[in-house]
Amino acid sequence: MSIKLYLSLFILAVSVTATAQIVTLKGKVTNAKTGAAVPAASILSGSFGTSADGNGNFVFYVQQSVAEASGITISSIGYQTIHISDFSDNFNVTLKPAIQELAEVNIPLGAEFIVQKAYRQIAQNYLNKGFNITGTQNMIHSVRDTFGYQYYYVNNAKVKIYMSAYADTPAVTQVGLMEKDERIKSNPKARKVAFINGYSLALTHDDVHLNAVPLRGNPARFKYKLNRKELIDGRKTYVVNFYSNGKDANAGILYIDTATYAFVRVLNTKYNVKINSAIDLNKLTSFIQYRKYGNQWALDAVKFNSVTEADGYAVERTDEFQAGVITTDQAAQLPPGAVIKPREKDNEVKPYDGFSTADKQMPATLQKAADNAFQKTKIPVIADRVHHN
């Protein structure tokens, strides 16, 4: 085996404690009165969440600190919502039937109809030409081997991005680095690790831009259930839960604007997804949010948790991207020298000198939030361990 472990676009991660910080939350939701499963219930913790499947089972992946601070909220149409603050990583939940439902929940439209209409209107609702985004990106990556040796990479960066129009196929995303502030720490006996494609991972999880399958409303692949309406940033949305109808191993929640039928937020969990025989990408939960710019929508934020097990390594990753400024009138693809190349090592990527001062000037509120998030990220003291043969 090579002394370097190269982590490709598909190998992801997280850790800010001496043990894994991403926790797997799983269990089953049932009817407290009858004991029957409650399909397509919503399970939320902080920004992240998922949907129970047809048997009431659920699984998703979230930072331990988020779960501890936010607790877990479970809800479903026709049942009383409950909030749990004391829980284990494997727990079952019972929901009591609601005495009386709100009239607003009884929406005449079907879940599949709503999702299919939202999918058909992507070209109309989302930016119909290429655009640039400047924003901040936070990364916390770690690798842990079977002997407990660890390697951490933490980075707070400013990036400039070019994205093709949402209706374009295939979707094009280019990322260029403006500034970075990174930290690396490794156990002295840990094998050297090279994290790669970190700047593009979160941005390539824009499900609308990627024409993701769960957004198509295909009843042969997924089951959909309309749960309620909810306000997001002052906009009323349909809340549609979905889960795989076969072997896709996907579950999540779609928040669709009731006025325009735009996807406002997408929560998606993928599990037991095999890349190849050597790599098991078995834990992945994402949060994608969109914002309206004038009359059309575009990417606003991505949050991303994942764990990959490969060849005796546990690779964990949390990535967060927040858009600052979006430009459409004079948007252009990035100069060739600015585009971060595939498989380029994250810690070897150099800021591109050709970006303007205006590009680098993020909104003050956004920059402050990014800096605070980065400063609060703590890398644990890594103790040397005895390597047992």
d(CA 299, CA 325): 11
d(CA 284, CA 73): 20
Are the C-beta atoms of residues 4 and 345 closer than 8 Å to each other? no
Q: What is the pLDDT of residue 303?
A: 92
The answer to whether residue 383 is domain-embedded is no
Reported confidence tier of residue 10, pLDDT bands at 50, 70, 90:
very low
Q: Which residue has the tokens 């939320």?
A: 44
Dihedral in degrees, nearest 10, Cα atoms 41, 45, 49, 53? -30
The answer to whether residue 380 is domain-embedded is no
Reported confidence tier of residue 5, pLDDT bands at 50, 70, 90:
very low
Reported confidence tier of residue 169, pLDDT bands at 50, 70, 90:
confident
Q: What is the pLDDT of residue 388?
A: 32
Q: Both 220 and 82 in a single domain?
A: no
Q: What is the pLDDT of residue 185?
A: 80
Phi, psi dihedrals of residue 26, rounded to the nearest 5°: -145, 160
Reported confidence tier of residue 98, pLDDT bands at 50, 70, 90:
confident
Choice between 108 and 43, residue whose per-residue pLDDT is larger = 43
Reported confidence tier of residue 264, pLDDT bands at 50, 70, 90:
very high
Q: What is the pLDDT of residue 184?
A: 83
Given a cut of 70, is residue 19 above it in pLDDT?
Answer: no
Q: What percent of the chain has pLDDT over 90?
A: 46
Are the C-beta atoms of residues 352 and 176 closer than 8 Å to each other? yes
Take residue 117 and report the two structure tokens written for it: 């209409």
The answer to whether residue 226 is domain-embedded is yes
Phi, psi dihedrals of residue 214, rounded to the nearest 5°: -60, -20
* Length of the chain (residues): 389
Distances (CA, A) of 55 to 28, 30, 254, 329: 8, 9, 20, 49
Choice between 109 and 102, residue whose per-residue pLDDT is larger = 109
Q: Both 268 and 316 in a single domain?
A: yes
Q: Both 142 and 180 in a single domain?
A: yes
Write the CB contacts of 353 (distance below 8 Å, at least 6 apart in sequence).
none
State which of 80, 109, 138 marks the end of a domain: 109
Q: Both 73 and 199 in a single domain?
A: no
State which of 78, 109, 140 marks the end of a domain: 109
The bridge status of strand 90-95 relative to strand 22-31 is parallel
Q: Both 9 and 45 in a single domain?
A: no
Q: What is the pLDDT of residue 123?
A: 94
Q: Both 196 and 331 in a single domain?
A: yes
Q: What is the pLDDT of residue 55?
A: 92
Are the C-beta atoms of residues 63 and 14 closer than 8 Å to each other? yes
Average pLDDT over residues 231-245: 93
The answer to whether residue 118 is domain-embedded is no
The answer to whether residue 116 is domain-embedded is no
Average pLDDT over residues 234-262: 91
Q: What is the pLDDT of residue 374?
A: 53
pTM assigned to the model: 0.87
Average pLDDT over residues 297-317: 85
Q: Both 139 and 247 in a single domain?
A: yes
Q: Which residue has the tokens 């809800």?
A: 75
> Where would I find the beta strands (DSSP E) of the chain?
4-7, 22-31, 42-45, 48-51, 57-63, 72-75, 82-84, 90-95, 131-145, 150-163, 173-186, 192-195, 222-232, 235-244, 250-257, 263-276, 279-293, 296-310, 313-327
Q: What is the pLDDT of residue 4?
A: 37
Alpha carbon 222 to its chain centroid, in Å, reads: 20
2 membership: H or E segment, kind and range: none
Q: Both 34 and 134 in a single domain?
A: no
Given a cut of 50, is residue 26 above it in pLDDT?
Answer: yes
**Residue 75, domain CATH:** 2.60.40.1120
Total structural domains within the chain:
2
The answer to whether residue 384 is domain-embedded is no
CB-count burial class (<10 Å; 0-12, 13-18, 19+) for 331: middle
Q: What are the pLDDT digits (tens) for 111-158?
A: 999 999 999 999 999 999 999 999 999 888 888 877 777 888 888 899
For 240-243, the CB contacts below 8 A with 24+ separation are 240/111, 240/114, 240/115, 241/40, 241/41, 241/42, 241/51, 241/52, 241/111, 242/40, 242/51, 242/115, 242/214, 243/39, 243/40, 243/51, 243/52, 243/53, 243/54
- In sequence order, which ranges of 163-262 are alpha helices (DSSP H)? 198-201
Q: Both 165 and 209 in a single domain?
A: yes
The answer to whether residue 389 is domain-embedded is no
Q: Both 246 and 326 in a single domain?
A: yes
Q: Both 172 and 57 in a single domain?
A: no
The answer to whether residue 180 is domain-embedded is yes
d(CA 203, CA 200): 5
Q: What is the pLDDT of residue 104?
A: 47
Residue 64: CB atoms within 10 A of its CB come to 18
- Domain limits at 93? 22-97+104-109
Average pLDDT over residues 254-268: 96
Choice between 123 and 196, residue whose per-residue pLDDT is larger = 123
Q: Both 32 and 77 in a single domain?
A: yes
State which of 44, 77, 109 marks the end of a domain: 109
Given a cut of 80, is residue 175 above it in pLDDT?
Answer: yes
Given a cut of 80, is residue 192 above it in pLDDT?
Answer: no
